[in-house]
C-alpha cells in the first residue's frame, strides 16, 4: 500500500486517482501527525510526502520515520517546490529510498518513480523473507544438533554404566563408541574381540543383520586379552534410529557360567538316563517272566497288581527313553534311518499301541482321511513316536472327554497328520512355546505329570524330515497338533 501525505485535499484526490488507475492500493493522511500515526500502525511500501505542510512539514515527518526501526527503510518520494535545501532532507535519514518530484507533478515521471520504488520494496521484502527462513532453519539445525549431542552423551553414559561390554556401530558395521569393558577383550576400539575358530564370525553375522535391518542375537566364544581360553558371550545388536539413520547398539553378556551349568546338567541327564535304563530293562523282562510263570487268573488281585507294576514300568521306560533322546539331540546323535514305508501302517501301529495302553479310557478314537497305499520316506519308528506322543498328550490333556480324532490329509506336496482333541487346550499366547525344551503350560503343569520334553523331541524328529510341526488351540477349546511330511520320494530310496 502507498501512503499519500498532503494537507491539500485536491492534491491527494488527483494523486490517489492516478495511482488507483494503475492498480495500486492507496491510503491518505492530511497532516504530518496523522501520517506518523498511520505509519506506526500499518506497513507501507512507499510514502509520497508533501514538503510544505503547516505544523509538521514533510522533512520533519521524514526525520521521524527514520527514527523508527520499523519504518526507517520505507522509501519516500517528496513532492516539493523547487530550490529545497537537500542537506536538510538527508539529515538523519540513511536509507537509499529517497527521491524528489517537483510541483507541478508530471504524472508520467511520478509513475515511473513509484513503480521503481514499489518493485524495490517487493524485492527487499522477498529477500527479508528468505533471510528470515534461513535464520530459522539455521537455528532449528543448531537446536537439533544440540539435542542429538546430548542424546548421544546420554547413551554413552548409559553404555558405560552397564555390566556388559557395549558398543555402537553405524549401518556399515564401523564401530563408533566402545565402553571401558571392551578393552578386556580387544586391544583396539576398531576391532571385535577374537572369536573361537569353530564359531561363526561376528562380522559376517553382523553384516547380514545390518543388511536385513533385523536385530542380531548369537552365542559366541570370545577370548580375553590376557587369557588363553575362550568364554561364552551372548552378543545382541539392536538397531536404533538416530538422526534419521539406522545406527546399532551392541552388548556382549557373559553367559559362560550358565553354559557350563547347562553342559553339566546335560551330562548328568545323559549318564543318569543311561544308568537307569539298564536295570529298568531287567525289571521289565523279569516282570514279563513272572507274569508268564505265575499264569494268574486275570480277575484275581495279584494279576491286577502285576498289571499295574507293568504299567508303571512302561511309564518309567518312556520317561527314560525321552531323556535319552534329549541327550542324543543335545549331542547331535539322534539317528534317523529313513526308508520308504506305508504311512497307513505307521498310523495304525501308533493307534493300536495307544489304545492298548489306554484300555481303561472311555475316549473313542476316530479316523478321518484315506491314506491307504500312500508311501512316504522317513524313519517309521521315529515318526510313530511323534504320533504316539500327540496321542498320549490327547488322552492326558483331554481325559474325561468323549473323542479324539486322527486326521490324515493328502495335500499337493505334503501329507498332514493331525490329532484333534477336545480337552483343556492351550492359551494362545503360550502356543509358540510348547515345542521348547522343558516347556510346560504353567496353568496346568501341576495337574498333569510330565517333563515337557516330548514335543521338543517331536519337533526335532520332524525337523530332520524337512517337515513342519504345529499346534492350533485356545484355552478350554481342545487342541489340534499336526505334522506334515514332504511327499516326494527319493529316486534311489529302497
Ligand atoms: P509333557 O506332556 O510331558 O509335559 P510335552 O512336551 O509333550 O510334555 O508337552 C508340553 C506341554 O504342552 C505340556 O506340558 C502341556 O502343557 C502342553 N500340551 C501338550 N499337548 C497338549 C494337549 N493336547 N492339550 C493341552 N495342552 C497340551
Could you read off the pLDDT of 311-362 as tens digits, one per residue?
A: 889 889 988 999 999 988 988 888 899 999 999 999 999 999 999 888 888 9
Residue with the smallest CA separation from ligand 1 atom 3 is 450
Q: Which residues are registered as beta bridge partners of 48?
A: 4, 77
426 lines ligand 1 (CB under 6 A): yes
The reported pLDDT for the residue numbered 94 is 47
The residue nearest atom 23 of ligand 1, judged by CA position, is 394
| Cβ–ligand 1 contact at 469 (below 6 Å) | no
Domain identity same for 452 and 347: yes
Do 325 and 365 belong together in one domain?
Answer: no
pLDDT at 91 over 50: no
Give yes or no for residue 47 CB within 6 A of ligand 1: no
Give the pLDDT confidence score for residue 380 in this predicted structure.
96
Q: Name the residue of 323, 452, 472, 482 to mutate for ligand 1: max ligand atoms within 8 A of Cβ.
A: 452
On whether residue 137 sits in a domain, the answer given is no
* Whole-number pLDDT of residue 60: 85
How many angstroms separate the CA atoms of 36 and 95, rounded?
18
Q: Are 423 and 463 in contact, with CB atoms under 8 Å apart?
A: no
- Would you say the CB of residue 451 lies under 6 angstroms from ligand 1? yes
Dihedral in degrees, nearest 10, Cα atoms 285, 289, 292, 293? -170
Whether 424 is in the pocket of ligand 1, judged by its Cβ within 6 Å, is: yes
Question: Which residue of 318, 322, 389, 397 sits with most ligand 1 atoms within 8 Å of its CB, as the best mutation to test the pocket?
Answer: 397
CA distance 358 to 365: 11
CA of 384 to the centre of ligand 1 (A): 18
Grid cell 539413520 is found at 245
In a domain, residue 134? The reply is no
Q: Are residues 307 and 348 in the same domain?
A: no
Tell me the pLDDT tens digit for each residue of 152-181: 899 899 999 999 999 999 989 999 999 999
Q: Model confidence at 92, in pLDDT bands (50, 70, 90)? A: very low
Tell me, in angstroms, the distance from the centre of ligand 1 to residue 448's CA: 9
| pLDDT level of residue 401 (50, 70, 90 thresholds) | very high
Residue 471, ligand 1, Cβ within 6 A = no
> Could you tell me if the CB of 440 is within 6 A of ligand 1?
yes
The atom number, within ligand 1, closest to the CA of 450 reads: 3
Other CB atoms closer than 10 Å to residue 387's CB: what's the count? 22
From the CA of 393, how far away is ligand 1's center (Å)? 6
Residues 368, 476, single domain; the answer is: yes
468 confidence band (pLDDT: 50, 70, 90):
very high
CA of 255 to the centre of ligand 1 (A): 29
Residue 174, C-beta contacts closer than 8 angstroms, at least 6 positions apart: 190
CA 390/CA 473 separation, integer angstroms: 14
Q: Residue 266: what pLDDT?
A: 86
Highest mean pLDDT, choosing among 88-102, 129-143, 296-310: 129-143
Q: Is 1 in the pocket of ligand 1 (CB under 6 A)?
A: no
Cis peptide before 465 (omega within 30 of 0): no
Cβ–Cβ under 8 Å, residues 434 and 426: yes
The answer to whether the CB of 452 is under 6 A from ligand 1 is yes
Query: Do residues 125 and 97 touch, judged by C-beta distance below 8 A?
Result: no
Distance in Å from the first CA to the final CA of the chain: 100
Residue 89 in this model has a pLDDT that exceeds 60: no
Q: Are residues 403 and 482 in the same domain?
A: yes
CATH number at residue 71: 3.40.50.2300
- Asked which of 70-74, 214-218, 231-235, 305-309 is least confident by mean pLDDT, the reply is 70-74
> Which residue range is the domain that position 8 belongs to?
2-128
The residue written with cell numbers 486275570 in the block is: 298
Residue 493 pLDDT: 52
Q: What angle do CA 251, 255, 260 make, to 5 degrees?
A: 160
406 CB less than 6 Å from ligand 1?
Answer: no
Under the banding of pLDDT at 50, 70 and 90, the label for residue 74 is confident
Q: Which of 18-27, 298-307, 433-442 has the lowest mean pLDDT?
A: 298-307
Q: Give the torsion sign (CA, 92, 96, 101, 107).
A: negative
Q: 192 and 230 in one domain?
A: yes
Q: Does residue 248 line the site of ligand 1, with CB under 6 A?
A: no
Tens digits of residue pLDDT in 36-50: 999 989 989 999 999
What is the Cα–Cα distance from 105 to 165, expressed in whole angstroms? 86
Shared domain check, 192 and 176: yes
Q: What is the pLDDT of residue 71?
A: 75
Chain-wide mean pLDDT for the chain?
90
Residues 88, 60 contacting (CB under 8 angstroms): no
Domain's final residue, options 237, 254, 271: 254
- Asked if the model's pLDDT at residue 86 lies above 80, the reply is no
Contact by Cβ (8 Å): 392, 464: no
Inside any domain, residue 271: yes
Whether 71 contacts 27, CB under 8 Å: no
On whether both 395 and 456 belong to a single domain, the answer is yes
Q: Residue 452 belongs to a domain with what CATH number?
A: 3.30.565.10
* Ligand 1 atom at shortest distance from the alpha carbon of 456: 6
CATH number at residue 235: 3.30.450.20
CA of 414 to the centre of ligand 1 (A): 25
pLDDT at residue 93 greater than cutoff 70:
no
**Mean pLDDT value across residues 287-307:** 89
Ligand 1 geometric centre to CA of 321 (Å): 17
Beta bridge partners of 47: 3, 76
Q: What is the pLDDT of residue 98?
A: 77
- Atom 19 (ligand 1) nearest CA: 393
Distance 391 CA to ligand 1 centre (A): 11
CATH number of the structural domain spanning residue 264: 1.10.287.130
Q: Is residue 148 part of a domain?
A: no
Which has the higher per-residue pLDDT, 16 or 101? 16
pLDDT band at 375 (very low <50, low <70, confident <90, very high): very high
> Is any atom of ligand 1 closer than 6 Å to the C-beta of 455?
yes
* Residue 284, number of CB atoms within 10 A of its CB: 16
Residue 416 lies in a domain: yes
Question: How far, in Å, from the CA of 381 to the mean position of ligand 1?
Answer: 21
Residues paired with residue 221 on neighbouring β-strands, in sequence order: 232
pLDDT over 70 (residue 113): yes
Cα of 350 from ligand 1 centre, angstroms? 18
What confidence score (pLDDT) does residue 96 get? 47
E strand or H helix at 179: none
Residues 249 and 279 both lie in one domain: no
Q: State which of 330, 364, 381 marks the end of a domain.
A: 330
Could you identify the atom of ligand 1 that is nearest to the CA of residue 453?
Answer: 6
> 141 lies in a domain?
no
C-beta of 397 in contact with ligand 1 (< 6 A): yes
- Please tell me the distance from the alpha carbon of residue 264 to that of residue 108, in angstroms, as a whole number: 105
Residue 170 and residue 241 share a domain: yes
Ligand 1 centroid to residue 375 C-alpha, Å: 29
| pLDDT tens, residue by residue, 409-420 | 999 999 999 999
Q: Is 394 in the pocket of ligand 1 (CB under 6 A)?
A: yes
| Spatial distance between the Cα atoms of 185 and 178, rounded to a whole number of angstroms | 11
Assign 369 a pLDDT band (cuts: 50, 70, 90): very high
pLDDT at residue 47 in the model: 93
Q: Are residues 74 and 192 in the same domain?
A: no
Is residue 9 in some structural domain? yes
Q: Is 460 in the pocket of ligand 1 (CB under 6 A)?
A: no
Point out the domain boundary residue: 284, 313, 330: 330
**Looking at the structure, do residues 443 and 357 belong to the same domain, yes or no?**
yes
How many domains does the chain fold into?
4
Report the predicted TM-score, pTM, of the whole model to 2 decimal places.
0.61
Cα 342 to ligand 1 centroid, rounded to whole Å: 28
- Structural domain contains residue 196: yes
Q: Which of 72, 6, 16 is nearest to 39 (CA)?
A: 72
Question: 278: which 3 cell numbers?
Answer: 539298564
Q: In what order do the strands lie in the sheet with 403-410?
A: 364-368, 403-410, 414-421, 479-486, 468-473
Amino acid at each position: 500500500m502507498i501512503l499519500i501525505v498532503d494537507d491539500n485535499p485536491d492534491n491527494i484526490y488527483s494523486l490517489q486517482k492516478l495511482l488507483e488507475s494503475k492498480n495500486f492500493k492507496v491510503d491518505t493522511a492530511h497532516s504530518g501527525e496523522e501520517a506518523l500515526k498511520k505509519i506506526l500502525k500499518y506497513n507501507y511500501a512507499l510514502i509520497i510526502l508533501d514538503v510544505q505542510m503547516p505544523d509538521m512539514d514533510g522533512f520533519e515527518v521524514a526525520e521521524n520515520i527514520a527514527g523508527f526501526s520499523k519504518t526507517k527503510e520505507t522509501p519516500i518520494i517528496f513532492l516539493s517546490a523547487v530550490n529545497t535545501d537537500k542537506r536538510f532532507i538527508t539529515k538523519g535519514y540513511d536509507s537509499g529510498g529517497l527521491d524528489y518530484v517537483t510541483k507541478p507533478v508530471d504524472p508520467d515521471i511520478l509513475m515511473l518513480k513509484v513503480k521503481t520504488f514499489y518493485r524495490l520494496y517487493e524485492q527487499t521484502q522477498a529477500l527479508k523473507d528468505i533471510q528470515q527462513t534461513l535464520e530459522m532453519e539455521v537455528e532449528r539445525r543448531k537446536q537439533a544438533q544440540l539435542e542429538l549431542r546430548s542424546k548421544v552423551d546420554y547413551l554413552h553414559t548409559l553404555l558405560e554404566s552397564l555390566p556388559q561390554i557395549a558398543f555402537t556401530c553405524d549401518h556399515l558395521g564401523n564401530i563408533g563408541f566402545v565402553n571401558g569393558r571392551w578393552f578386556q577383550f580387544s586391544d583396539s576400539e576398531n576391532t571385535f574381540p577374537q572369536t573361537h575358530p569353530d564359531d561363526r564370525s561376528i562380522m559376517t553375522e553382523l553384516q547380514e543383520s545390518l543388511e536385513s535391518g533385523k536385530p542380531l542375537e548369537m552365542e559366541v566364544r570370545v577370548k580375553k586379552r590376557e587369557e588363553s581360553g575362550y568364554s561364552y558371550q551372548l552378543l545382541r545388536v539392536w538397531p536404533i534410529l538416530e538422526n534419521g539413520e539406522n545406527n546399532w547398539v551392541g552388548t556382549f553378556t557373559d553367559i559362560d557360567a550358565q553354559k557350563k551349568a547347562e553342559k553339566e546338567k546335560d551330562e548328568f541327564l545323559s549318564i543318569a538316563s543311561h544308568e537307569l535304563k539298564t536295570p529298568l530293562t531287567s525289571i521289565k523282562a523279569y516282570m514279563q517272566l513272572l507274569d508268564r510263570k505265575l499264569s494268574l487268573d486275570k480277575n484275581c488281585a495279584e494279576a491286577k497288581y502285576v498289571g499295574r507294576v507293568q504299567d508303571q514300568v512302561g511309564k518309567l521306560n518312556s520317561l527314560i527313553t525321552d531323556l535319552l533322546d534329549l541327550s542324543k539331540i543335545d549331542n547331535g546323535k539322534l539317528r534317523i534311518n529313513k526308508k520308504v514305508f506305508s504311512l497307513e501302517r505307521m498310523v495304525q501301529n501308533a493307534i493300536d499301541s495307544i489304545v492298548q495302553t489306554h484300555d481303561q479310557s472311555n475316549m473313542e478314537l476316530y479316523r478321518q482321511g484315506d491314506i491307504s497305499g500312500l508311501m512316504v520316506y522317513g524313519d517309521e519308528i521315529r515318526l510313530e513316536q511323534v504320533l504316539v506322543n500327540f496321542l498320549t498328550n490327547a488322552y492326558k490333556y483331554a481325559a474325561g472327554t468323549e473323542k479324539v480324532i486322527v486326521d490324515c490329509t493328502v495335500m499337493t506336496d505334503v501329507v498332514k497328520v493331525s490329532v484333534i482333541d477336545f480337552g483343556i487346550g492351550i492359551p494362545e499366547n503360550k502356543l509358540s512355546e510348547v515345542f521348547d525344551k522343558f516347556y510346560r503350560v504353567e496353568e496346568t503343569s501341576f495337574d498333569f505329570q510330565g517333563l515337557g520334553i516330548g514335543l521338543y523331541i517331536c519337533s526335532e524328529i520332524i525337523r530332520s524330515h524337512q517337515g513342519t510341526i504345529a499346534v492350533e488351540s485356545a484355552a478350554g477349546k481342545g487342541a489340534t497338533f499336526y505334522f506334515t511330511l514332504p511327499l516326494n520320494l527319493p529316486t534311489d530310496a529302497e
